[in-house]
Amino acid sequence: MADKMTLEKFEEACEIVGKVTNKTGLMYSQCFSEQTGNKVYLKPENMQLTGAYKVRGAYYKISTLTAEERKKGLITASAGNHAQGVAYAAKKFGAKATIVMPTTTPLIKVNRTKNLGAEVVLYGDVYDEACAKAYELADEHGYTFIHPFDDLAVATGQGTIAMEIFKELPLVEYILVPIGGGGLATGVSTLAKLLNPKIKVIGVEPAGANCMQASIKNGKVTTLPTVNTIADGTAVKTPGSKIFPYIQKNLDDIITVEDDELIAAFLDMVENHKMVVENSGLLTVAALNKLNVKGKRVVSILSGGNMDVITMSSVVQQGLIFRDRIFTVSVLLPDKPGELARVAETIAGVQGNVIKLEHNQFVTTNRNAAVELRITLEAFGTAHKNQILDALEKGGYQPKIVRTSL
């Protein structure tokens, strides 16, 4: 059992973890490099067999257990990715696994965890509530608890990512790492500083779940009253107490990211890299524009890609609206033949693409005076949207932007 994090432990973990992980080589990002003025590389842990980096810590932790501890059965709490990591690792070691997951966990993560042979218990709205239930079940049945982040062996396993980064890019200067409870950030920052004390390791949290930032500011582990973020994998109220001293020592800074920025990052990743990365994994991409440096070698760790189709479609839709690629405009026009055709011609004249029309004759008591036409359009971006609005204004329609509902 790892009682402290040493270079020897990390080297041992690399050898053990290498047996069950896919090689996730660094990808140079031309588009993010051009956007930021840095040399940006992506570490695509979303390409792991379980869809996330979590299998590293889970497998290494279980490898350090005694046969007796494994025989008792394993239990953990997870928002999804650690669940799959533990389920997969337990199967490899021939151990029974029970996973407690928040009721808000995406269906894809629940089903994949079940498919790996684990028993799933859905409980609570956030990770912290699921974790309390898991401890309760561990006491009741004598299971061995595998903590998703507040465990030095788990964090050591996660830190193997840093070893791979250094082997591939020895002159790396910045590493961006997502933070939920802090296990990944602990492992990566600790090993990175052991290999190169001058490197900068920056943690990234959702603005609505910044428990580590609050803890560092207060100088002690701090529990947030609530969390609110679309990054479900990092929606944690309380960071780990065992790993907190390592974070205090080795993490150089923490950046927070708003949900809107994650939505934009999802769109960028799909369109420019043809990859699906979940919201928590996109924290390090959204944070790239917040680094106040230029010309540096930067690695963004993409922690996972387990996103269900419904969430994905919602994020894409919101991303297109956020980027002014889809918008809805309301115009009033007389209820007489030819008016709709005239509006359509005006929009076509500036290459606008109509994707939805709503015609409301009851917007005024005198429908001959005016009826409302709500037009949902596809545009190339903000400049094109403004061009369409200008054309409608010149056509005498007095366009008004309204909320888009697809």
**Catalytic annotation, residues:** 54, 303
Rounded to whole angstroms, what are the CA distances from 117 to 91, 94, 105, 110, 306? 7, 10, 18, 11, 18
Dist. CA 291–CA 340, nearest whole Å: 49
Cβ proximity of 276 and 268 under 8 Å: no
- Comparing CA positions, the residue from 326, 402, 337, 390 lying closest to residue 363 is 402
Cβ proximity of 183 and 240 under 8 Å: yes
Beta strands in 78-173 (DSSP E): 97-101, 119-122, 144-145
**Could you give the count of Cα atoms lying within 13 Å of 268 in the half-sphere of its Cβ?**
22
Dist. CA 299–CA 293, nearest whole Å: 13
Sole residue written with tokens 């920025």: 261
State the virtual CA torsion across 213, 194, 175, 50 in degrees, nearest 10. -90
**How is residue 119 written in tokens?**
């028993």
Burial of 317 (0-12, 13-18, 19+ CB in 10 A): middle
